[in-house]
């Protein structure tokens, strides 16, 4: 009986577990079917017909095998309305999140975790700047913006009616979208200006260093020596940078890029070649959206940020153009003196001025709204108060003067770029592109190649003023004027036969009459581009593509020799000897299967880790472009002038020894003791993360492709770098473009990871492998390879 009872108990338990498993399987299967249907429902219609009320006539949307739309319309209004509709088809979730982040409205759907982000962007005031900019635009541009917004809203209505919103909205419980407005598009434009920065954080770091280290030690960290009148700011009582500014959201210092244009005298076709590959964050979907626009007055192909009409980078039948970031000093911190009797008054010219007080109401999902005050002085928003409640009691605070917070009209310039027929016409349009400041290169059908820096770049009476915060109470430090457009750096048809930029120093400060910046990208990418373009005279499209994928590391070419020269001799562990052998045999190419790039990268990082080990981690976030400083310290030491930071670690030999040992120990822990098995690609992998990747299992859902190993690094032309504490490469050329004026209607592109933002789309991540390998696709404006056609029909017919 006991045995039978025991058996019966086991049998019942087994039946119970089996029943639970069956229920669980049925529930999971049902959920999977539901999710499958929901996801597929959100896929855009790419064939057939859709009625779109508001169109004047029919519009054809012809998608090629890569999902790239060619939009053909009989009027400009129809063209841009269709562009809004089609972009929303592919990227609505991205567009919604972009406008919310830029406007400080994420908390309404994300919850309280996003409150600090919203406070920061409300303080910065990108949305307010967009509203101010609206007043500058003429009716033609406003019509384009409105048509685009109408198209976006038509798709939102269509998707909501069909229950076809992207699946991400379902996951976030966000199904009622507000109407898209013209200000939303302009705010996203302002966000891109923010993403390209302007160096306020380096001013904050310099200020911190000057107050925390001996003068000589602090000045070694400065990109230039502050002489003259700016020294008086250091005599003021120190305002805590850590409390007020270190929680700010700081873009990468060199969201940069490469671009160049080669004269027909140096090309196989006899016509100019142009190449551009902007370096920004790598994500799913891409920052860039590729499109061709065709109407009686527009015929243009290239890329744009989802949420903005037109084509910002690309080509038409007459010319092509591309950009890199100038990185000028367009952001200036001011130290403001607050009236102790009135927190909304600040001293200027011995009088108390009223600041503007803006009440921002931040909606928070599941919580009560947060009422947040933004205070703006004559210079701009008070940044100290963004994260620090006690700042309201401070006698002195930091405010930010930034040219992109002024009213500007970049979209007018973009639309003129799209229609320009020559360099001369393009340059006229460029004057309206005021923020962000970019290095433009252009090649046109007349054979002209040109370079010009654009933007509203303040004139500093003394260039050293831009090194530190300026006294907001002193009228002598007001930035009232800008470098005249005709005097911005410009090169047309140079004798050397090419123009190029890679965020490098673009002027000779001893010759050029105006201050541009103290902080430039390290010169290695530009030097490599120059080296290649200067060495040939029959370049082809394939050569330009190869140069965009070039992995030659000129930083290593310079510093490996120095590192090895100063590494003390002596008994070393076998693994260290093997690592040194790899470096001595290296050809300085950051090739994916090589060990040497990994060893050098970690060694250099270890050098920096020792040099700056006394600086708080949160302050190091403000030390933008510190590689420029590190290189200078090492060069000076090798020339016999070791400064404070080198001598603090016993001189160059002791620094090299300790950093090398540290680097090899870390590599051994991570990659094992067999140095010959170490590979750069094991540590250099690209991921293209989706915004929801960090939530539970959605990482594998939204990023089903394994991270891919790739070559290149942050100092090679093929840019690949990690920002912050990221495990994978998250910064590089999301779009690569090459154009030959001999075939003016053909553009050669890669958009990583793909064109679509929909997980189940064939074009969601189909370009990842091509992006890693450098396999371009051709978009031919005259011979569009149509794979799918959607006809948008007017609802008024």
Which residues make up each annotated binding site for Ca(2+)? Answer: 329
Q: Please tell me the distance from the alpha carbon of residue 477 to that of residue 230, in angstroms, as a whole number.
A: 10
H helical segments located in 534-595? 541-548, 554-566, 574-584
Contact between 230 and 219 (Cβ < 8 Å)? no
Q: Using the 8-state DSSP alphabet, how is residue 754 labeled?
A: -
Half-sphere exposure of 190 (CA within 13 A, CB side): 33
269 tagged catalytic: no
Identify the burial level of 673 via C-beta atoms within 10 angstroms of its C-beta, where 0-12 means exposed, 13-18 middle and 19 or more buried: middle
- Structural tokens at position 651: 């001189």
Identify the burial level of 409 via C-beta atoms within 10 angstroms of its C-beta, where 0-12 means exposed, 13-18 middle and 19 or more buried: buried
Contact between 328 and 521 (Cβ < 8 Å)? no
Closest CA to 289 of 47, 81, 83: 83
Contact between 596 and 551 (Cβ < 8 Å)? no
Half-sphere exposure of 52 (CA within 13 A, CB side): 34
Closest CA to 386 of 396, 399, 395: 399
Q: What is the DSSP string of 159-213?
A: HHHTT---HHHHHHT---PPPP-HHHHHHHHHHHHHHT--SHHHHHHHHHHHHHS
Q: Please tell me the distance from the alpha carbon of residue 753 to that of residue 767, in angstroms, as a whole number.
A: 5
Per residue in 374-407, is it b (16+ CB within 10 Å) or e — as a string?
Answer: bbbbbbbbbbbbbbbeebeebebbbbbbbbbbee
H helical segments located in 58-138? 76-103, 107-110, 115-124, 126-134
Q: Please tell me the distance from the alpha carbon of residue 207 to that of residue 222, in angstroms, as a whole number.
A: 10
| Neighbouring C-beta atoms of residue 466, cutoff 10 Å | 30
Closest CA to 453 of 393, 503, 382, 378: 503
- The dihedral sign for the CA sequence 7, 12, 17, 21: positive
396-402/438-444 β-pairing: unpaired
Determine the Cα angle at 616 with ends 381 and 386, to 5°.
20
Using CA atoms, how far residue 57 sits from 153, 290, 793, 797, in Å, is: 18, 24, 7, 8
746-751/299-305 β-pairing: unpaired
Q: What is the DSSP string of 211-256?
A: HHS-HHHHHHHSSS---GGGGGGGGSPPP-HHHHTTTS----TT--
Contact between 153 and 179 (Cβ < 8 Å)? yes
313-316/720-721 β-pairing: unpaired
Pick the catalytic residue from 257, 286, 501, 721: 257
How many residues are present in the chain? 797
Contact between 140 and 202 (Cβ < 8 Å)? no
Residue keyed to tokens 């020559």: 422
Q: Please tell me the distance from the alpha carbon of residue 207 to that of residue 334, in angstroms, as a whole number.
A: 11
| Backbone dihedral angles phi then psi of residue 717, each to the nearest 5 degrees | -60, -45
Q: Across the strands, what pairs with 280? A: 732
| Backbone dihedral angles phi then psi of residue 305, each to the nearest 5 degrees | -80, 135
Q: Please tell me the distance from the alpha carbon of residue 346 to that of residue 380, in angstroms, as a whole number.
A: 12
Show which residues are catalytic: 257
């Amino acid at each position: 009986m006991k045995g039978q009872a025991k058996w019966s108990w086991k049998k019942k338990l087994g039946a119970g577990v089996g029943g639970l498993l069956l229920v669980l399987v049925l529930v999971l299967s049902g959920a999977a079917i539901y999710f499958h249907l929901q996801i597929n429902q959100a896929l855009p219609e790419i064939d057939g017909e859709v009625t779109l009320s508001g169109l004047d006539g029919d519009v054809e949307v012809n998608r090629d095998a890569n999902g790239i739309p060619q939009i053909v319309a009989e009027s400009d209004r129809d063209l841009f309305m269709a562009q809004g509709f089609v972009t929303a088809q592919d990227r609505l979730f991205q567009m919604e999140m972009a406008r919310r982040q830029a406007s400080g409205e994420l908390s309404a759907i994300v919850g309280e975790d996003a409150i600090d982000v919203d406070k920061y962007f409300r303080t910065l005031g990108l949305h307010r700047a967009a509203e101010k900019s609206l007043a500058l635009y003429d009716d033609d541009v406003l019509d384009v913006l409105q048509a685009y917004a109408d198209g976006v809203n038509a798709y939102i209505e269509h998707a909501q009616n069909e229950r076809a919103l992207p699946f991400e909205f379902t996951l976030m419980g966000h199904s009622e979208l507000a109407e898209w407005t013209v200000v939303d598009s302009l705010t996203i434009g302002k966000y891109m200006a923010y993403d390209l920065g302007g160096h306020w954080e380096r001013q904050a770091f310099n200020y911190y260093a000057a107050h925390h280290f001996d003068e000589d030690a602090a000045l070694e960290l400065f990109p230039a020596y502050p002489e003259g009148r700016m020294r008086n700011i250091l005599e003021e009582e120190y305002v805590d940078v850590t409390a007020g500014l270190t929680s700010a959201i700081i873009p990468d210092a060199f969201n940069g890029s490469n671009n160049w244009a080669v004269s027909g005298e140096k090309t196989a076709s006899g016509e100019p070649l142009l190449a551009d590959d902007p370096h920004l964050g790598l994500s799913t979907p891409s920052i860039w959206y590729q499109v061709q626009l065709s109407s009686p007055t527009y015929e243009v192909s290239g890329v744009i940020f989802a949420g903005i009409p037109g084509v910002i980078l690309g080509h038409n039948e007459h010319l092509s153009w591309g950009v890199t970031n100038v990185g000028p000093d367009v952001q200036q911190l001011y130290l403001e003196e607050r009236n102790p009797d009135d927190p909304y008054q600040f001293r200027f010219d011995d009088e108390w001025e009223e600041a503007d007080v803006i009440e921002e109401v931040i909606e928070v999902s599941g919580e009560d709204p947060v009422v947040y005050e933004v205070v703006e002085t004559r210079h701009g928003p008070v940044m100290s108060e963004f994260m620090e409640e006690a700042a309201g009691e401070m006698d002195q605070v930091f405010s930010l003067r930034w040219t992109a917070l002024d009213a500007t009209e970049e979209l007018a310039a973009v639309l003129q770029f799209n229609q320009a027929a020559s360099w001369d016409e393009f340059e006229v349009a460029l004057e309206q592109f005021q923020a962000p400041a970019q290095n433009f290169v252009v090649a046109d059908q007349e054979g002209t190649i040109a370079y010009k820096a654009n933007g509203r770049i303040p004139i500093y009476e003394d260039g050293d003023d831009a090194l530190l915060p300026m006294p907001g109470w002193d009228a002598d430090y007001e930035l009232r004027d800008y470098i005249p457009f005709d005097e911005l750096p410009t090169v047309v048809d140079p004798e050397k036969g090419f123009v190029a930029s890679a965020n490098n120093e673009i002027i000779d400060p001893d010759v050029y009459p105006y201050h541009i910046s103290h902080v430039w990208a390290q010169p290695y990418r530009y030097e490599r581009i120059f080296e290649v373009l200067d060495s040939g005279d029959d370049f082809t499209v394939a050569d330009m593509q190869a140069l965009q994928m070039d992995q030659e590391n000129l930083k290593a070419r310079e510093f490996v020799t120095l590192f090895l020269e100063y590494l003390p001799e002596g008994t070393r562990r076998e693994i260290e000897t093997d690592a040194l052998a790899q470096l001595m045999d290296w050809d300085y190419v950051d090739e994916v299967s090589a060990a040497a790039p990994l060893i050098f990268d970690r060694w250099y990082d270890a050098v920096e880790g020792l040099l700056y080990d006394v600086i708080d981690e949160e302050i190091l976030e403000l030390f933008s472009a510190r590689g420029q400083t590190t290189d200078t310290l090492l060069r000076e030491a090798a020339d016999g002038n070791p400064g404070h930071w080198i001598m603090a670690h016993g001189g160059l030999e002791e620094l090299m020894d300790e950093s090398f040992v540290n680097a090899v120990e870390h590599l051994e822990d991570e990659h094992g003791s067999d140095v010959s098995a170490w590979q750069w690609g094991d540590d250099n992998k690209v991921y293209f993360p989706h915004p929801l990747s960090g939530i539970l299992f959605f990482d594998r859902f939204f990023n089903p492709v394994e991270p891919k190993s790739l070559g290149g690094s942050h100092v090679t032309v093929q840019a690949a770098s990690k920002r912050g504490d990221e495990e994978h490469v998250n910064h590089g050329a999301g779009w690569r473009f090459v154009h030959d004026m001999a075939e003016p209607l053909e553009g050669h592109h890669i958009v990583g990871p793909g064109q679509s933002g929909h997980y189940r789309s064939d074009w969601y991540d189909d370009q990842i492998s091509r992006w890693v390998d450098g396999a371009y696709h051709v978009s031919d404006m005259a011979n569009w390879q149509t794979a799918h056609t959607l006809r948008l029909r007017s609802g008024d017919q």
